[in-house]
Structure 1
Amino acid sequence: MYAKLARIGLVLAALGVAGCTDSSVKNLSEVANKQLPDSILAEMKAKGMLRNSSVMARIFKEEGKLEIWKAKTNGRYDMVASYDICKWSGKLGPKFTEGDRQAPEGFYTVRPSQMNPNSNYHLAFNIGYPNAFDRANGRTGSNLMVHGACSSSGCYSMTDAQIEQIYAFGRDAFQGGQTEFQIQAFPFRMTAANMARYRNDPNYEFWKMLKVGYDQFEITKVPPKVDVCEKRYVFNQIPADGQAFNPTGACPATTQPDSLKTAYKSYQSTYEAAYNSAIKASTPAPKPTIAGIKEAALVSDWTKKRARGERVPIEPPSLNADGTVSETTRMGRIDSPAGRKMAALDAEKAAKEKAAQEKAAAIAAAKAAKEAAKAQALAQKEAAQQQQMVEAAPPVEAPMPQSDSAASKLKKRLLGMFGG
């Protein structure tokens, strides 16, 4: 069963259109030609993989992991390397619009023309956003990469040493004849426990759709055939003769291998039991997620202002469940030509305002000093005048002592009356 699915997957992959000539793969810089370390080559050999066999990647935001899977000689894939993502921007949830700083989620395709050996971020490859699903749903954005330099504004950023290895996996697979490889980007490992944690999230229906492709890869260990119709992903569906998938049109009549349907049904039965148990169990609190296109538009507007060098909150705004917006109080500018120009204008304006304030303060101080000196001089003049008036006034005669003749007479009289 699995061998048949593997053959289907490899045939479908071979139908992919190569996006460049051989020169886009051969004309690489020295760092892009760096070979995989012997330890990885030894592990590949032990797992039955050739150095240039087909490759695919899986990304898990919440866990911060990027996995590399390679085809074994039996056609099924096995994981050969896992890397800690250095940085990814935004929150859990898909990318909606240019400037929302969201790292994409979904199923993407990388062709040789998307590999950039001369990236400003050491090495890089474009993941292929927007894909058919994104375009059908009106989602926009450009230049979404996996790259080095550990710096992200919507990309998945790795260290330089990590991207050298990841790049080498893709390069070797292209040199081995693979025309495109698949990247599966998920918000988290889509286990029953994690799906239960996020069952009330506004992005849950989108994640349930991705989970179908996730589950089918878990079952087959072969990258699923991915198509889009009715603005949704469909996986491993084979259209009837003469029919095709239209991303915005009705889905055509399709078939699917019975072996896959049977395996998927059994897988789902086990999953449902685990999901029901997970709902009842205590689980970690969910991580922040994007609240749809409204929050994406808020962040996009913030990004545009930031790119123009305007002062904005240091962190992007967040839309709360009650519709209110949360913003950090700390403001700043991006370190860009526009930001530096605006900052210089601000500094010049602030310097002028400070100089004007200092000049006004100096004038006020001089005026106050002048008034104080004037008041002091007036006080001194008044004191001098008072002194002159005192000195010019005639002397005041002391009162004459009272004559004691009357007193003496009275004394004598009294003494006479009482026999004194």
Structure 2
Amino acid sequence: MFAKFARTGVLIAAIGVAGCNDSSMKDFAPEANKPLPDKILADMQAKGMVRTSSVMARIFKEEGKLEIWKAKTNGRYEMVASYEICKWSGKLGPKYTEGDRQAPEGFYTVRPSQMNPRSNYHLSFNIGFPNAYDRANGRTGQNLMVHGACSSSGCYSMTDAQIEQIYAFGRDAFQGGQTEFQIQAFPFRMTAANMARYRNDPNYEFWKMLKVGYDNFEITKVPPKVDVCEKRYVFNQVAPEGTTFDPTGPCPATTQPDSLKTAFANYEKSYDAAFNSAVNSSSVAPKPTIAGIKEASIVSDWSKRRARGERVPIDPPSMNSDGSVTETTRMGRIDSPAGRKMAALDAAKEAKRKAEEQRLAAIEAAKAAKEQAKAQALAEKEAAKQAAQQQVVTAGVEPAQPAQETQQAADADQGTVSKLKKKLLGMFGG
């Protein structure tokens, strides 16, 4: 049933198979031409695939996996390779704004022009962020890639050996006529158990929307047709002829094949039972997730300051469940032209600060010396004054000594006169 449906092209309209001439392919990837390993080619052949058949990728953050799926001759897809993601940045949850260091989640499209054989990260391809959904919801960012070099600031980074194979899958599919392939990026495998674990997360409603596309692929094993209307994803919906999906406008009346609707309803019924069971059972604790645009804005501001070369906490800030923000105490700046320029400006500013500090210290020292000299002069003046006063006191006491001697001398003289007088009187009969 689904193989026939897939061959009608309804579900794979988003894949867009068309021709691609040799000249454009040579221009597209002249250096990224390593063939896939013989073992992978043998596995593909055993599964009914050809080297150049259509391809798609699925990414699961929490599990750290990137899967490659290829179309078989019956039109349905089967996984042909799985890789451990070497590094991805941020937390579980979508990318909100430029600089939030979040690896995107959603449904993205890769075309030949997005492949880069001369990447600074060995090989790379841009996943197509922002897509129609992201733009409709005001989400910003650029240059979000799957690449080598195992280094990430918002991308999905692989080892060089891994990206050579992943790149080859896309290259071969383009050579076979596929004009674009789909990347489905999820926070985790969207099982009932995992959805139950994250049922209280602020990103849960977004993840429920992604799960519809996830379920469509699980049911059909064909990449879903993806559209956006009313600022949300819609999957495998067929609009009436002459109408289109407006990402920010109302969704048109759509239809789905009855076989798909029935299969989806049965799938959801089984899922609901598993979800309810998982809610009441113990499970692994949820991993950290981004707390919406508020945390994204805080991290984005950190990224901007870091890019300007400022000294910032080594790790991005993180928002806690109570709304508080945690930052690491270790500070540093990136080694870049901006960082070195900022370091020089900071050094000059610090030197100026120290010089001003020394100038003020010298002024204070001179002021203190002047005050000390003034105090010393006052002390000397006071000492001189006290010395003068002491001399005056001394001058008032010392004359008493000569006066007493004078009186004694006078008394002596008087005695002498008396004696002489008595003598004369005696001589002349007085």
- What's the secondary structure of 2:164's corresponding residue? helix
TM superposition score normalised by structure 2: 0.80
- What's the secondary structure of 1:130's corresponding residue? coil
Aligned to 2:378: none
Aligned-residue offset at 1:336: 1.6
Pairing of 1:82-93 with structure 2 (within 5 A): 82-93=82-93
**8 Å Cα contact 1:24-1:113 kept in structure 2:** no
TM superposition score normalised by structure 1: 0.81
Pairing of 1:70-85 with structure 2 (within 5 A): 70-85=70-85
CA gap of 1:226–1:17, structure 2 versus 1, over 3 A, is farther
Aligned-partner Cα distance in 2 for 1:185–1:23 = 32
CA deviations over 1:27-54 (Å, ceiling 9, x no partner):
2566510100001000000100000000
CA gap of 1:152–1:24, structure 2 versus 1, over 3 A, is farther
CA gap of 1:167–1:284, structure 2 versus 1, over 3 A, is same
Aligned to 2:334: 334
Does residue 107 in structure 1 map to residue 107 in structure 2? yes
Aligned-partner Cα distance in 1 for 2:312–2:155 = 22
**8 Å Cα contact 1:9-1:222 kept in structure 2:** no
Aligned-partner Cα distance in 2 for 1:169–1:113 = 15
**8 Å Cα contact 1:24-1:112 kept in structure 2:** no
Aligned-partner Cα distance in 2 for 1:37–1:16 = 25
CA gap of 1:23–1:155, structure 2 versus 1, over 3 A, is farther
Aligned to 1:118: 118
Return the letter of the residue paired with 1:71: A
Aligned-partner Cα distance in 2 for 1:22–1:329 = 55
Aligned-partner Cα distance in 1 for 2:335–2:258 = 57
Aligned-partner Cα distance in 1 for 2:213–2:342 = 47
Does residue 25 in structure 1 map to residue 19 in structure 2? no
Aligned-partner Cα distance in 2 for 1:97–1:201 = 19
Higher gyration radius (CA): 2
Aligned-partner Cα distance in 2 for 1:155–1:210 = 19
Aligned-partner Cα distance in 2 for 1:193–1:228 = 28
Aligned-partner Cα distance in 1 for 2:58–2:187 = 11
Pairing of 1:146-161 with structure 2 (within 5 A): 146-161=146-161
Aligned-partner Cα distance in 2 for 1:215–1:301 = 36
RMSD: 2.5
Aligned-residue offset at 1:335: 2.0
Aligned-residue offset at 1:343: 2.5
- What's the secondary structure of 2:113's corresponding residue? helix
Aligned-partner Cα distance in 2 for 1:323–1:248 = 31
Does residue 273 in structure 1 map to residue 273 in structure 2? yes
Aligned to 2:213: 213
Pairing of 1:373-392 with structure 2 (within 5 A): none
**8 Å Cα contact 1:31-1:164 kept in structure 2:** no
Aligned-partner Cα distance in 2 for 1:24–1:351 = 58
Aligned-partner Cα distance in 1 for 2:144–2:104 = 8
CA deviations over 1:290-310 (Å, ceiling 9, x no partner):
111111111111110000000
Aligned to 1:259: 259
Aligned-partner Cα distance in 2 for 1:13–1:129 = 16
Aligned-residue offset at 1:349: 5.7
CA gap of 1:331–1:23, structure 2 versus 1, over 3 A, is farther
CA gap of 1:348–1:209, structure 2 versus 1, over 3 A, is same
Pairing of 1:171-182 with structure 2 (within 5 A): 171-182=171-182
**8 Å Cα contact 1:9-1:224 kept in structure 2:** no
- Structure 1, unaligned stretches of length 5 or more? 365-420
**8 Å Cα contact 2:28-2:115 kept in structure 1:** no
**8 Å Cα contact 2:16-2:180 kept in structure 1:** no
Aligned-partner Cα distance in 1 for 2:229–2:109 = 17
Return the letter of the residue paired with 1:267: Y
Return the letter of the residue paired with 1:203: N
CA gap of 1:205–1:91, structure 2 versus 1, over 3 A, is same
**8 Å Cα contact 2:29-2:116 kept in structure 1:** no
**8 Å Cα contact 1:5-1:222 kept in structure 2:** no
- What's the secondary structure of 2:335's corresponding residue? coil
Aligned-partner Cα distance in 2 for 1:21–1:357 = 71
CA deviations over 1:271-292 (Å, ceiling 9, x no partner):
1111111111111111110111
Aligned to 1:250: 250
Return the letter of the residue paired with 1:299: V
Aligned to 1:282: 282
Return the letter of the residue paired with 1:12: A
CA deviations over 1:179-215 (Å, ceiling 9, x no partner):
1000000000000110000000000000000000000
Aligned to 1:12: 13
CA gap of 1:309–1:271, structure 2 versus 1, over 3 A, is same
CA gap of 1:188–1:259, structure 2 versus 1, over 3 A, is same
Aligned-residue offset at 1:240: 1.4
Aligned to 1:390: none
- Identical residues among aligned pairs (%): 81
Aligned residues: 365
Pairing of 1:195-206 with structure 2 (within 5 A): 195-206=195-206
After superposing the two structures, state which structure 1 stretch, 48-57 or 335-344, moved more.
Answer: 335-344
Pairing of 1:304-383 with structure 2 (within 5 A): 304-347=304-347
CA gap of 1:227–1:92, structure 2 versus 1, over 3 A, is same
**8 Å Cα contact 2:12-2:225 kept in structure 1:** no
CA gap of 1:226–1:14, structure 2 versus 1, over 3 A, is closer
CA gap of 1:238–1:198, structure 2 versus 1, over 3 A, is same
Does residue 47 in structure 1 map to residue 47 in structure 2? yes
Aligned to 2:421: none
Aligned to 1:373: none
- What's the secondary structure of 2:194's corresponding residue? helix
Return the letter of the residue paired with 2:131: N
CA deviations over 1:365-396 (Å, ceiling 9, x no partner):
xxxxxxxxxxxxxxxxxxxxxxxxxxxxxxxx
Aligned-partner Cα distance in 1 for 2:18–2:243 = 19
Aligned-residue offset at 1:242: 1.8
Aligned-partner Cα distance in 1 for 2:316–2:160 = 27
Aligned to 1:412: none
- What's the secondary structure of 2:79's corresponding residue? strand
Aligned-partner Cα distance in 2 for 1:206–1:21 = 40
CA deviations over 1:110-130 (Å, ceiling 9, x no partner):
011111111111101010000
CA gap of 1:324–1:129, structure 2 versus 1, over 3 A, is same
Aligned-partner Cα distance in 1 for 2:76–2:16 = 18
Aligned-residue offset at 1:22: 5.6
Aligned-partner Cα distance in 2 for 1:142–1:193 = 33
